[in-house]
Amino acid sequence: MTAREGRLYVVGLGPGDAGFLTHDASAALEEAEDIIGYAPYVARVPERPGQTRLASDNRVELDRAREALARAAAGRFVVVVSGGDPGVFAMASAVFEAVEQGERDWRDLDIRVLPGISAMQAAAARLGAPLGHDFCVISLSDNLKPWDVIAARLEHAARGDFVIALYNPASRARPQRIHDAFAILRGLLEPDTVVIFAKSVGRAEENILVTRLDEADPSLVDMSTLVIVGARGTRVIARAAATPFVYTSRKAP
């Protein structure tokens, strides 16, 4: 088998529940010779006879991408897995960064990105349509960019009246950043701005809280939580015995 016959697919597993997995993603996982990814994501893939599984730490994305590319260049069918969508703060960009910096023949490989349902899409669907109008997505992780850049982007998004989805909001190594983010938002937005904490959507421990900016407790947030901060047009429809509906009007407030 020549190098050009190798394949590398970057596959989104969705947020957790197998029902979120697309048909194309399922087919690729069935056929792949090698499954490569962050250990918790690899663990979500059912084991298949004859498949090789390479699980690694979350902070070695480029090493993981280079290993996948080398295996594909050797003629293997490699699937790199990501949670949610692989193009949203995930492995797709790492793969293409490795392609740009790496071996020249890697550029001729059959590389495909198979999208998945992102955490923000899954969380929004649980509630209705909080992303129903203009929105932006910001990662609070300062591992690869300085906090000053994140803070500036957060401020501009708030001033622009975007619905804001916050990824990577807090971790054991970064417990303070979500508090810093809320301090910025509280200085710019109205106290009754809608805030959503969506934890572990699609998993057994799923929990969704709809609250207000002035009442939201950032200490409830961890890395499994997707935070959505509403815009002026975001509305809450209360229900007697269920989580409220939330939507963002398509009309300017």
Q: Are 133 and 250 in contact (CB under 8 A)?
A: yes
Q: Which pLDDT belongs to residue 191?
A: 97
Instruction: Give the per-residue pLDDT at 3.
Output: 43
Query: d(Cα 114, Cα 23) in Å, to the nearest integer?
Result: 10
| CATH 3.30.950.10 placement within the chain | 120-248
Query: In the chain, which residues fall in CATH 3.40.1010.10?
Result: 3-117
Rounded to the nearest 10°, the torsion over CA 226, 160, 144, 16 is: 20
Q: Rounded CA gap, 98 and 64, in Å? A: 9
pLDDT at 17: 79
pLDDT attached to residue 144? 85
Q: Phi then psi for 113, rounded to 5 degrees?
A: -110, 120
Selecting from 3.40.1010.10, 2.40.30.10, 3.40.50.280, 3.40.50.2000, what CATH number does the domain 3-117 have? 3.40.1010.10
Q: What is the pLDDT of residue 44?
A: 92
SS3 call for 176: coil
Q: What is the pLDDT of residue 252?
A: 72
What integer pLDDT is reported at residue 140 of this predicted model?
A: 95
120-248 belongs to which homologous superfamily?
Tetrapyrrole methylase, C-terminal domain (3.30.950.10)
- The pLDDT of residue 1 is 38
pLDDT, averaged per 10 consecutive residues of the chain (253 residues), comes to 74 88 95 95 92 88 95 97 94 96 95 95 95 96 92 97 95 87 97 96 91 96 94 95 93 78
Instruction: Please report the pLDDT score of residue 60 as a whole number.
Output: 87
Distance, CA of 134 to CA of 63 (rounded, Å): 36
Query: So what's the pLDDT on residue 79?
Result: 98
